[in-house]
Amino acid sequence: MRSIEHFINGSSVADAPRQSDVWNPSQGEVQARVGLGTSATLQKAVDAALAAQPAWAATNPQRRARVMFKYKELIEANMDSLAELLASEHGKVVADAKGDIQRGLEVIEYTCGIPQALKGEYTQGAGPGIDVYSMRMPLGIGAGITPFNFPAMIPMWMFGMAIACGNAFILKPSERDPSVPVRLAELMKEAGLPDGLLNVVHGDKEMVDAILDHEDIKAVSFVGSSDIAQYIYSRGTANGKRVQAFGGAKNHGIVLPDADLDQVVNDLTGAAFGSAGERCMALPVVVPVGDDTAAALREKLVPAIEKLRVGISTDPEAHYGPVVNEAHKQRVENYIQMCVDEGGELVVDGRGFMLQGHEKGFFVGPTLFDHVKPHFRSYKEEIFGPVLQIVRADTFEEAVRLPSEHEYGNGVAIFTRNGHAAREFVSRVNVGMVGVNVPIPVPVSYHSFGGWKRSGFGDIGQYGQEGLRFWTKTKVVTQKWPDGSAAGDHKEAFIIPTMA
Ligand code: NAD
C-alpha cells in the first residue's frame, strides 16, 4: 500500500511511529497510509527552516517572485494529475478539485507581484533633516494547519504569502487527504525554492501541539472547525505567537420577494450541494422573506434538487461526490434525523443513498428541509453536508437578524433586484463576507478572506493586504544625517522630541 511521508528539507522523510488511513471516499476503501510525526519530526523541519530562512529573507523580492512565477507554470502544467489525486482522497468531483487548486493558484499569482506589494512607506522631511521610512520584514518561521476540505487552496493561501514575504514555512495538512499538500511542496522545490523553506509534516493533535509550543515558530495560521480554532488561538497566543484561526460556518442566503428565483435556484443548488456541502462558504440555510416567496422558491427548488446527480469523483456528469469518510456520513445523517425530531419538515431525504457499483462509498443524497426554526440545534450547528434548510422570515428585519445573531459569521448572501435593500443589508449584517446575488462570496486574491464571530479568531485575514500584514512585521526607521555643525549645550536633547 502507498505510504505518504513528510517532506522536510527538500526530501521525503519516513518518520512515523503511528499511521493513519487515507481513504478513497468514492470506493469506501483505504488507498494509502500517512505516517504521523512527533515533536522530533517537527524539530527536523524547524532545523531545516532555521538554516534556510536568513538567506531567503536576504534574497531580493524580484528573485523570490520569479520562483512564484515558475511555480504558477508548474501548477498549471500539473493541474490534471493534482486534481485527480485531490479528488481521489477528498471525494469532490474532479472539476471542483480543479477549482480548489485554481483558487489557491490565484493567491500564488498575487505573490508574483510581491516586490510591489512589500514596498514600504517613506516621508521625506518629517522633521528638520529627518526622513522616516517603514519596511516590512519577514517573521522567520511560520506554520499552517489546514482542514481536509480544501487540501490545495488553503495551503497555497498560507505558504504562498508566507514564503513570498521571506519566511520559511511548515505545513501540517489534514491527515485525511495529505497527498496533494506534499505534491505542492515538491513542485515548489522544482520551481527553484531552496530546500528547507517549505516543509510538510503530517500528524494529528500531537503534532499540532508541538507546533503551538515551539518557540522558533513565530506565527500560526489555522483553518478548521471552530472549537479547534479557538484552542489553537488560545494556546498559540499564550505562547507569544501571532495567530489567525478560522473556524466553522453556517452561511445564510436571504431571498427577497423581488429576487430572480431561477437564478437563486441555480445558485443555491450549487452553493448548498457542491462539494457535498463540505465548504466553509457553502450556503446551507436559505431565508425566503414572506410565505409567497417561500412557496415559489420551494416549488422551483424541489425539482432542481431531485435532478442532481451524485456520483464518484471521476464521473464528469456528477454534480457532487461522496463526503469524506464513514464517520462524517453518519454525522450528517444524524443531523438529518435531529432536524426531523426537532420538527423540521423533511421535503427531500438523502439518507440511505446507495450508488450502484459503489455501495461502500460515503454518499449522502441531497436533502431539503422546510419550516426550520432558529432554536433548532440542527440550525445552530454546522452540518457540513448536502443538507439545505429553509428558515422562513416574515420581514426584511427578521432576515437581517438571523445571520447577524447566529454564532457563526463567515459568509452570507442576499438575492434581490432592489439596490437599496441590498445596500442596507450589506451595511447592517453582522457577518464577515457578504455576497449580493453572489452565492459564495470568497474574496478574490487581492482582497482578503476572513469570517467573524466563531468563524474567525484573531483579527487579520488570509491573503491580500491582510496576508501581507500577517506574514510580516513592520520596522519604522527615523533617520537624520547631521552636517557636523552641532556644538554647545543642547538642552533640547533632554526633552522628548515633538513636531511642535
Ligand atoms: P478539523 O478542525 O477537524 O481539522 C483541522 C486541522 O486541525 C487538521 O489539520 C487536523 O489534523 C487538526 N486537528 C484536528 N483535531 C485536532 C485537535 N484536537 N487538536 C489540534 N489539532 C487538531 O477540521 P476539518 O474537519 O478538517 O475541516 C472542516 C472544518 O473546517 C469545518 O468546520 C469547516 O467549516 C472549516 N473550514 C473553515 C474555513 C474558513 O475559512 N473559515 C475554510 C475551510 C474549512
Nearest alpha carbon, ligand 1 atom 38: 280
CA 40 / ligand 1 centre spacing (Å): 23
Nearest ligand 1 atom, CA 209: 20
**Residue from 90, 213, 225 whose mutation best tests the ligand 1 pocket (most atoms within 8 A of CB):** 225
- Region of residue 343 (left: phi > 0; alpha: psi -120 to 50; beta: else): left
Q: Are residues 297 and 290 in contact, defined by beta-carbon separation less than 8 angstroms?
A: no
Q: Give the model's pLDDT for residue 488.
A: 65
Q: Give the model's pLDDT for residue 497.
A: 81
Nearest alpha carbon, ligand 1 atom 20: 205
Q: Give the model's pLDDT for residue 16.
A: 86
Q: How far is CA 319 from the centre of its chain?
A: 22
What distance in Å separates the CA atoms of residue 190 and residue 70, rounded to the nearest whole number?
Answer: 9
What distance in Å separates the CA atoms of residue 337 and residue 319, rounded to the nearest whole number?
Answer: 24
Nearest alpha carbon, ligand 1 atom 19: 205
Q: Give the model's pLDDT for residue 222.
A: 98
CA 246 / ligand 1 centre spacing (Å): 9
Q: What is the DSSP string of 457-472?
A: ESS--BSHHHHHHHHE
Nearest alpha carbon, ligand 1 atom 40: 246
The dihedral over CA atoms of 22, 200, 243, 231, expressed in degrees to the nearest 10, equals 30
Q: Give the model's pLDDT for residue 270.
A: 97
Nearest ligand 1 atom, CA 174: 9
Each residue's pLDDT expressed in tens, for the chain with a length of 500 residues = 899 999 999 999 998 889 999 999 999 999 999 999 999 999 999 999 999 999 999 999 999 999 999 999 999 999 999 999 999 999 999 999 999 999 999 999 999 999 999 999 999 999 989 999 999 999 999 999 999 999 999 999 999 999 999 999 999 999 999 999 999 999 999 999 999 999 999 999 999 999 999 999 999 999 999 999 999 999 999 999 999 999 999 999 999 999 999 999 999 999 999 999 999 999 999 999 999 999 999 999 999 999 999 999 999 999 999 999 999 999 999 999 999 999 999 999 999 999 999 999 999 999 999 999 999 999 999 999 999 999 999 999 999 999 999 999 999 999 999 999 999 999 999 999 999 999 999 999 999 999 999 999 999 999 999 999 999 999 999 999 988 876 666 777 788 888 77
Q: Give the model's pLDDT for residue 496.
A: 87
- Please provide the CATH number assigned to the domain covering 2-247+455-477: 3.40.605.10
CA 43 / ligand 1 centre spacing (Å): 23
Largest CA distance in the chain: 94
Find the distance separating the first CA and the last CA of the chain, reported in whole Å.
Answer: 74
CA 66 / ligand 1 centre spacing (Å): 32
Q: Are residues 390 and 288 in contact, defined by beta-carbon separation less than 8 angstroms?
A: yes
User: Which one-letter amino acid corresponds to residue 7?
Assistant: F
Nine-digit cell string for 143: 506554520
How many residues in the chain?
Answer: 500
Task: Give 310's strand partners.
Answer: 320
The dihedral over CA atoms of 328, 329, 332, 336, expressed in degrees to the nearest 10, equals -160
What sign for the dihedral angle of Cα 225, 25, 303, 339?
Answer: negative
CA 222 / ligand 1 centre spacing (Å): 8
Cα–Cα distances (Å) from 401 to 75, 140, 272, 412, in that order, read: 43, 43, 21, 12
Q: Give the model's pLDDT for residue 494.
A: 85
Residues of the chain with CATH 3.40.309.10: 252-436
Q: Give the model's pLDDT for residue 492.
A: 77
Nearest ligand 1 atom, CA 462: 40
Nearest alpha carbon, ligand 1 atom 15: 205
Nearest ligand 1 atom, CA 249: 34
CA 223 / ligand 1 centre spacing (Å): 6
Q: Are residues 183 and 82 in contact, defined by beta-carbon separation less than 8 angstroms?
A: yes
Q: Which residues line ligand 1 (CB under 6 A)?
A: 145-150, 172, 174-175, 204-205, 208, 223-225, 228, 246-249, 280, 382, 384, 410, 451, 455
Nearest ligand 1 atom, CA 146: 9
Contacts for 266 with CB less than 8 Å, ≥ 6 apart: 304
CA 273 / ligand 1 centre spacing (Å): 20
Residues of the chain with CATH 3.40.605.10: 2-247+455-477
**Structurally, what CATH architecture does the domain formed by 252-436 represent?**
3-Layer(aba) Sandwich (3.40)
**Residue from 20, 39, 204, 222 whose mutation best tests the ligand 1 pocket (most atoms within 8 A of CB):** 204
What distance in Å separates the CA atoms of residue 271 and residue 261, rounded to the nearest whole number?
Answer: 15
Nearest alpha carbon, ligand 1 atom 33: 248
Q: What angle do CA 320, 326, 327 make, to 5 degrees?
A: 115
Give the active site residues: 280
